[in-house]
Amino acid sequence: MRNANSAAILRAEAVAYRYADNGHTLSPVSLEAEAGGCLAVTGVSGCGKSTLARCLTGLIPHLYRGEMAGSVWIENLHTTTTSLWELSERAGMVFQNPAAQMLATTVENEIIFGLENLGLPRPEIAARLEQALTQFGLIALRGRDPRSLSGGEQQRLALASIMSRRPAALVLDEPFSMLDGDGAADLVAALAELTAQGAASVACEHRLEWLETLPGLRTLHLAAPHPPAEIAHVIPPLARKRMPFMLDVRGLSVQRGVHEVLHNLEFHALGGEVIAIVGRNGAGKTTLLRALAGLQRAEGVITVDGGSPNLGMVFQNPDVQLFNASVREEILYRIAAPDRELYAWLLKALGLERYEATPPLLLSEGEKKRLALATVLMRQPRDGILLDEPALGQDDGHKTQLLHLTRALAHAGQLVILTTHDLALAAQADRLLLLAEGHIIAEGTPAAVLGDTEACRRAGMRTPERRAEGAR
């Protein structure tokens, strides 16, 4: 079916979708994306941005069995009646997690995979391969395993793999969520270039600060599926307020093979503090949290007032933690005499009240992260909690909720240590530790650390403003 009435490359008319397995829905959306333009689709977690991205590229309805309404046209081809391989030649998609979309064992083969599927002659594939490697700065990495690249490099490779196929439209699903400052700056530069070359791009993203640096950006806001949960400001009803204490880290080193991930770290943290660990992908942030939680073999000494620390850890990927049949069972798992008051407070503070009987696997990514946090807090770790990238996939409302929660725990005397790429979140901490190549290169208040231009440059902590300044 063809629609010759529109000049737009991508066009959606009242497109809506309902998943067959979990009942999540996308409310009707209409949009148009034109050549040389960039459209940012924003909205809270769970509003359907990823679903819309899949509708715009034809993955829905071809790979999903839910109910779709409305129409999507890619270069005047209707997505329902055109085969998926034909649609993929016209609209490319870059997914949220670049590591999860790598199909080959070398950077070269990753790009070649998509070119082979176009049926191009060998010389043409060779020419496009070289062009893509050059354009996306991958020449030196051509023989590397994609899984060994940094997040930013993987995202560039994902873009190169799609753009070498020369689709008229590009759809990106939360492309910035896993990137550090340098990676995000690289992605914005690549997007600006592609847009200048005439590609139509649609980026589904709730971190707009990077996209806003693109010239001529249009935005479309998707409505929230539920009213935002009420934020609990009160101090959590923990069994008792923690007495003042000090976490002491001395000579902490972690070796992995021949590579030293952390080198001789020294720092202190007091009960009641919120500390953010920042740095580029691979700087050792997660390894440091794992060492503090006692999950990582390490040299050196980690003590709380001379004894072993007792810190609960919330992992970056909640799927590794959740397995029970309902949210309630998940939170109360293996707790002999649960504190009912704390349980009720956690449900309210983390916006999980309406999901008490829901299986955790049916929750959105943001909701699962909050549930994983609840399971750890319910166990009442004595000294506090460690949060690995808690802001990942969370919209501004939920980040605010998270901030209130961490503050509430700190008021109760608990220590909160978190890792994040989100500098807006990091700026709300009491203290920042800036990690680069396994060393703490700066430590202090957020204003002092983020104001240290040289340290931030070393740690890859570019911000949209800095990028704009650099461009000028």
Partner 1 sequence: MSTEHKRRRRHEHRATPALVENSPLRNADPRVKLALSLGLSLAVMLPLAQVATALALYTLLLLWARLLPLAARQVWRLKWLLVVLFAVDWLFVSLELATIVSLRIIMLTGTFTLLVATTTPDELRLAFEWLRFPYRYAFSLSLAFQSLNLLEQEWQAILEAQRARGAWLPPQNWRALWRGLSDLTALTVPAIVLTTRRAWALTEAAYARGFDSPRRQAYRQLQLARLDWLLLGGAILIAGALLAWRTLLTGRLAM
C-beta of residue 204 within 8 angstroms of C-beta of residue 49: yes
By the rule CB under 8 A, 81 interacts with partner 1? no
By the rule CB under 8 A, 201 interacts with partner 1? no
Q: What is the CA angle 127-133-137, rounded to 5?
A: 150
Tokens (6 digits) for 187: 């992605």
By the rule CB under 8 A, 84 interacts with partner 1? yes
The single residue among 140, 243, 320, 336 that binds partner 1, judged by CB under 8 A, is 320
The single residue among 72, 112, 392, 455 that binds partner 1, judged by CB under 8 A, is 112
The single residue among 113, 221, 233, 344 that binds partner 1, judged by CB under 8 A, is 113
Closest CA to 384 of 270, 278, 279: 270
Q: Residue 119 or 227: which CB sits closer to partner 1?
A: 119
d(CA 207, CA 392): 10
The single residue among 2, 221, 268, 297 that binds partner 1, judged by CB under 8 A, is 297
The single residue among 189, 208, 322, 427 that binds partner 1, judged by CB under 8 A, is 322
By the rule CB under 8 A, 92 interacts with partner 1? yes
Per DSSP, the residues of 137-149 read T-GGGTTS-GGGS
By the rule CB under 8 A, 301 interacts with partner 1? no
Q: Residue 32 or 173: which CB sits closer to partner 1?
A: 173
Options 66-74, 116-124, 446-454, 460-468: segment touching partner 1 (CB under 8 A): 116-124
CB of 298 to partner 1, least distance (A): 9
β-strand 200-204 against 38-42: which pairing, if any?
Answer: parallel
Determine the size of the site formed for partner 1 (CB under 8 A). Answer: 58
- Binders of partner 1 among residues 372 to 391 (CB under 8 A) are 375-376, 379
Options 74-82, 105-113, 206-214, 347-355: segment touching partner 1 (CB under 8 A): 105-113
Options 92-100, 131-139, 258-266, 450-458: segment touching partner 1 (CB under 8 A): 92-100
Binding mask 423-452 for partner 1 (x = CB under 8 A): ------------------------------
Cβ-proximal residues to 17 (8 Å cutoff; 6+ apart), any chain: 25, 26, 48, 51, 55, 60, 64, 66, 67, 68, 69
Q: Residue 41 or 442: which CB sits closer to partner 1?
A: 41
By the rule CB under 8 A, 317 interacts with partner 1? yes
As separate numbers, helices (DSSP H) first and strands (DSSP E) second, the chain gives 17, 18
CB of 324 to partner 1, least distance (A): 8
Cα dihedral across residues 206, 209, 215, 221: positive or negative: positive
Per DSSP, the three-state class of 85 is: helix
Per DSSP, the three-state class of 302 is: strand
Count other C-beta atoms under 10 Å from residue 28's C-beta.
13
Q: Residue 88 or 213: which CB sits closer to partner 1?
A: 88
By the rule CB under 8 A, 57 interacts with partner 1? yes
Cβ-proximal residues to 301 (8 Å cutoff; 6+ apart), any chain: 248, 249, 250, 251, 252
The single residue among 14, 69, 361, 447 that binds partner 1, judged by CB under 8 A, is 361
The single residue among 4, 20, 81, 122 that binds partner 1, judged by CB under 8 A, is 122
Per DSSP, the three-state class of 24 is: coil
- 447-456: Cβ within 8 A, 24+ apart: 449/278, 450/423, 450/426
Count other C-beta atoms under 10 Å from residue 31's C-beta.
18
Dihedral angle of Cα 416, 421, 425, 428, to the nearest 10 degrees: 60
Binding mask 147-186 for partner 1 (x = CB under 8 A): --------------xx--x---------------------
Count other C-beta atoms under 10 Å from residue 71's C-beta.
17
By the rule CB under 8 A, 290 interacts with partner 1? yes
By the rule CB under 8 A, 51 interacts with partner 1? no
d(CA 450, CA 420): 14
By the rule CB under 8 A, 239 interacts with partner 1? no
Residues that bind partner 1 (CB under 8 A): 54, 57, 59, 62-63, 83-85, 88-89, 92-93, 95, 97, 100-106, 109, 112-122, 125-126, 161-162, 165, 290, 293-295, 297, 312-313, 315, 317, 319-323, 333-334, 361, 375-376, 379
